Structure 1
Amino acid sequence: MAPAASEVIRPRWTRLITRILAPVIVASFALLSFGLSQLHWETWHLYDAIWMNLLGLAIAGVLWRLGSVRAIVRPERLVVRNLVRTHRIEWAQIVGVSFNPRMGEQYASLDLSDGQTLHVQAVQAADGPRAAAACTRLRRLADEYSRPAERPDDGI
């Protein structure tokens, strides 16, 4: 089965939960800072409310980034966007794809030709069978794209 020009693999549950929690956190911190200012607490100042809201925004930003992890499959490379970094990996660099949640692995892993291992946070054990199917798909694509292109026989 030939893949489309670009395919995106995303976690289901993490994305859903973080998309709900991020705005709830921002609203909660805003309401709490407003409520504390209404108490006329002597040690509570405007800059405390500002910092509290900035902290809520920072937490929401981390949650939003966590919800945006993905693996983008392209014919020329695999783009893996994890929580902290985005990696662009040529298919030829991928030696193997592993995922064994029964052994405690939370994410799929790519074994790279330079000996390193890269976790793919888009394929998470929390997604159960959906994650296993995504890992199988990554294995097939790595096998398909890492093979050198076959050249027609010159008859020599």
Structure 2
Amino acid sequence: MTQPPALPVTFRPLRTRIVLLGVGLAVFAVITVVALVLGTLSPGERISFIFTGLLFLGVLALLSRPRVDAGTEGVTVVNLTSRRRLEWAEIVGVNLRAGDPWVFLDLADGTSLPALGIQPGIGKAQAIADARTLRTLVERYGTGQS
């Protein structure tokens, strides 16, 4: 078994996050400039343009939220709209199979929890390495050793 990294450690799709937030900010800036430059728009129309840009930025910021935080006490999985705290012993497996959109955590209660913070989208090699690292951490800390 490989030596696990020092805790705490955070896993997140960094490239995807950069792209999402970059595009969101660029679109918001363009829509805002267009709203302010067009002289034929009423103040209400300008506000609705800017609000639409903010809404678009907000959705992309929400899509960039997922992460997996591993600490000495356990793992926190932050997905799009939810956050779940797990003790190490609750996690019995870490799976990232070919074609999976993200890692799935097999839990002691027989259920599976998607962990969107590790996804192969843009950075497949990084996602595979992160899944292996998390698997090593689960093997190390899930057994009660420290």
Tell me the TM-score range normalised by the shorter chain.
0.7 to 0.9
Matched, 1:52 2:54: no
Per the TM alignment, residue 124 of structure 1 is displaced from its structure 2 partner at its CA by 1.0
Pairwise CA RMSD: 1.8
- Once the two structures are superposed, the pairs formed by residues 31-50 of structure 1 within 5 Å of their partners are 31-36=33-38, 38=39, 40=40, 44-50=41-47
Q: 71-80 or 141-150, which moves further after superposition?
A: 141-150
Cα contact 1:14–1:66 (8 A) shared by 2: no
Q: Normalization by structure 1: what TM-score?
A: 0.82
Tell me the equivalent position of 1:86. 83
**Matching residue's letter, 1:73:** A
Tell me the equivalent position of 2:114. 119
Identity %: 29
What do the CA deviations read for 1:72-102 (whole angstroms, capped 9, x no partner)? 11011101111211211111111211101x3
30, 33, 37: which is aligned to 2:32? Answer: 30
Tell me the equivalent position of 1:4. 6
Q: Normalization by structure 2: what TM-score?
A: 0.87
100, 121, 142: which is aligned to 1:105? Answer: 100
CA distance in 1, matches of 2:9, 2:59: 25
| Rg larger for | 1
Tell me the equivalent position of 1:62. 59
Matched, 1:143 2:133: no
- Deviation >4 Å, runs of 4+: none
CA distance in 1, matches of 2:45, 2:80: 29
Contiguous gaps of at least 5 residues in structure 1: 151-156
**Matching residue's letter, 1:86:** R
CA distance in 1, matches of 2:34, 2:103: 39
- How many residue pairs were aligned? 143
Q: 27-36 or 90-99, which moves further after superposition?
A: 27-36
Cα contact 2:4–2:140 (8 A) shared by 1: no
CA distance in 1, matches of 2:87, 2:118: 19
